[in-house]
Amino acid sequence: MIGTRMEAPLRQLFDFKIGAAVNPTTISSQEELIAYHFNSITAENEMKFASVHPEEELYTFEAADQLAEFARKHDMALRGHTLVWHNQTTEWLFQDNHGQPVSKALLLERLRSHIHTVVGRYKNDIYAWDVVNEVIEDTGAELLRSSKWLEIAGPEFISKAFEFAHEADPNALLFYNDYNESHPQKRDKIYTLVKSLLVQGVPIHGIGLQAHWNLFDPGLDDIRAAIEKYASLGLKLQLTELDMSVFRFDDRRTDLVEPTPGMLEQQAERYEAVFRMLQEYSDVITSVTFWGAADDYTWLDDFPVNRRKNWPMLFDEHHQPKAAYERIARLVRS
Ligand code: GLA
């Protein structure tokens, strides 16, 4: 698409892919911006369990198909997100006809069937899947988060998910994906889990660092340490859900109608420092996906403070480049 943009397309600046999370609304409202700057997309919600498989006998692929069609139209890569998660998964999966918990065998059989159907459908479109999302417990000594998956199937649901995905599409790159991935304690647990999968011979090819970051956290040293530790497993890394909230996570202020100049400057410095580092590791980092494209639409407008506007992206509410974009682009030219 020929637009009127003067700035350099982000997708041409780095060795890794540059992605955006999209949905059926934004592929239209942000089409020009996304087509110009990005060469990869991820479905924000439309490929999650509850979206594509609301009832045992019913698959609903309309929205996901639209996104796959958008990727084809613009010759973009498509990431699949996500096959196993404790959220946005329907209750029927874990229950029998009488509302009783299903057996481990039935749960794994349902998982196999789901994965074969979904991964099989997008075999020619999706090159990489977030197979398992967020199974690590954030704090304390437990490795795995408690969930219906763990309760019914024990830890084996994790390796099984990767095996089923690999059966369904042997060419797809398979990722473990999680947030707070740069916090040392969680980083070490993610490392432990993935290493144990590798030791068992499970087909896993990469780690997804969600990278829901803010102006203050995580520290650059922690990000670097996480990249190095994960890379030491010999896997590829992708940033899968990058955004840079202007608020500290526990900041509940609601008084702003626009970002302060100080915030935008700090955001520009942070993005510049982060991309400088990502570039250093471009032998292991193969893709950087933002969780959105521009500040007119971001899930952070509702999280963690309901209906509070946030401005986490490189492009503003009118899809124009922010200072953060300029700094990243300058980084490459210098
Ligand atoms: C997690 C999930 C994403 C998305 C975000 C919030 O990071 O992996 O799919 O739901 O939360 O939008």
**10-residue averages of pLDDT along the chain (334 residues):** 81 97 98 98 98 98 98 98 97 95 98 98 98 97 98 98 98 98 98 98 98 98 98 98 97 95 98 98 98 98 96 98 97 76
pLDDT at position 1, please?
45
* Distance from C-alpha of 171 to C-alpha of 272, rounded to nearest angstrom: 34
220-231 and 261-280 helices, crossing angle to 10°? 30
> What DSSP state is assigned to residue 97?
T
Are the C-beta atoms of 160 and 115 separated by less than 8 Å? no
With contact defined as beta carbons under 8 Å apart, do 257 and 309 qualify? yes
Q: Encode 7-34: b = buried (16+ Cβ within 10 Å), e = exposed.
A: ebebbebbebbbbbbbbbebbebbbebb
Tell me the angle at which helices 156-168 and 184-199 cross, rounded to the nearest 10 degrees: 60
Any bridge partners for residue 129, and if so which? Answer: 80, 174
Give residue 332's pLDDT.
Answer: 81
Backbone phi, then psi, for 157, in 5-degree steps?
Answer: -60, -25
**In a 3-state reduction of DSSP, which class is residue 229?**
helix
* Residues taking part in catalysis: 134, 241
- Whether residue 211 contacts residue 181, with contact meaning beta carbons closer than 8 Å, is answered with yes
**What is the pLDDT, as a whole number, of residue 4?**
83
Ligand 1, atom 3: nearest CA belongs to which residue? 44
Q: Give pairs for 189-194: CB < 8 Å, separation 24+.
A: 189/136, 189/137, 189/143, 190/136, 190/230, 191/229, 191/230, 191/233, 192/143, 193/135, 193/136, 193/143, 193/144, 193/158, 194/230, 194/233, 194/235
User: How far does residue 173's CA lie from ligand 1's centre (Å)?
Assistant: 20
Going by alpha carbons, the residue nearest to atom 8 of ligand 1 is 133
Residue 86 CA to ligand 1 centre (angstroms): 11
210 Cβ below 6 A of ligand 1: yes
Q: List the structure tokens of 72.
A: 């084809």
Amino acid identity at 272: E
List the Cα angle 179/275/269 in 5-degree steps: 95
At residue 3, the pLDDT reads 63
In sequence order, the β-bridge partners of residue 133 are 177
d(CA 298, ligand 1 centre) in Å: 11
| 137-142, long-range: CB < 8 A, 24+ apart | 137/189, 138/180, 138/186, 139/185
The answer, yes or no, to whether any atom of ligand 1 lies below 6 A from the CB of 241, is yes
Beta bridge partner(s), residue 203: none
Angstrom distance (rounded) from CA 138 to CA 195? 18
